[in-house]
Each structure stands twice: as C-alpha cells, then as structure tokens.
Amino acid sequence: MQYKDKRQANRERSQGSQGTEEYIRVRIPKGHEVLGILEQRLGASRMLVKCLDGVSRTCRIPGRLKRDLWLREGDVVLVEPWEFQKDRGDIIFKYSPAAVEWLKRKGFLKTTEKEF
C-alpha cells in the first residue's frame, strides 16, 4: 500500500496499534546464572546483590559493560557466580520494568522482595 507522505503512514500505524498486545523478549537464566535484586552499591563498580538462591553476593560489573550498565538499588539483575568463589559474581544483565513484570507473571521472580 502506497502512502502519500510519512505523516499519513505514521498516523495509520499508530491507530492500528491501539488495543493490541505488545510482545517482549525476556532473557531468562541459563546454566549457572541466577536472578538477583541489587541491595547496595559499594563503589568501584562493586555491588551487593541478594540472589534468588539465598546467597548475598558481592558482584562486579565487567569492564565491557561498565559504561553501558547503570544500576540503582532495587534493580533486578542477572548474576553469573564465579566458579572458584561462590559468594562473588558478575552482573551481566539488567532487566527493564516490563521484563520484571513478565518474570513475576511467569514465576521466575517472586512478587515481593521479602519472600526470599
């Protein structure tokens, strides 16, 4: 279908999207990866994360993600524990609020922080 201008195409596209459900792709933990909630920022790209397996880990942001990954207390993150020290790990992914809601609905994440 040919449109006369971009405004008409954008208008029809925005009107057609009303009432439809939006699909999102959410990264789920694989292998040794664990979901966690950031409890405290310690400085020098180190964080204290309460993981869903019941362990509080001192986690770091790897150098390749240092400039791209901005975190605050209460953020839901994906942690990869170290093999040689189980109480430490790397933060490899931060979930968006829409992804957190999806994780709660599907049972990957408990509804309140106090449950774990």
CATH number at residue 89: 2.40.50.140
- Domain presence at residue 55: yes
How many structural domains compose the chain?
1
Q: Which of 14-18, 37-41, 59-63 has the lowest mean pLDDT?
A: 14-18
- Domain presence at residue 109: yes
CA–CA separation, 63 and 46 (whole Å): 12
CA–CA separation, 60 and 116 (whole Å): 22
Residue 81, pLDDT > 90, answer: yes
Q: What is the mean pLDDT of residues 72-100?
A: 91
> Sign (positive/negative) of CA torsion 42, 113, 80, 27?
negative
Question: So what's the pLDDT on residue 109?
Answer: 85
Question: So what's the pLDDT on residue 12?
Answer: 67
- Domain presence at residue 10: no
The amino acid occupying position 89 is G
- Domain presence at residue 80: yes
- Domain presence at residue 18: no
- Domain presence at residue 3: no
Contact call for residues 47 and 79 (beta carbons, < 8 A) = no
Residue-number span of the structural domain to which 80 is assigned: 27-115
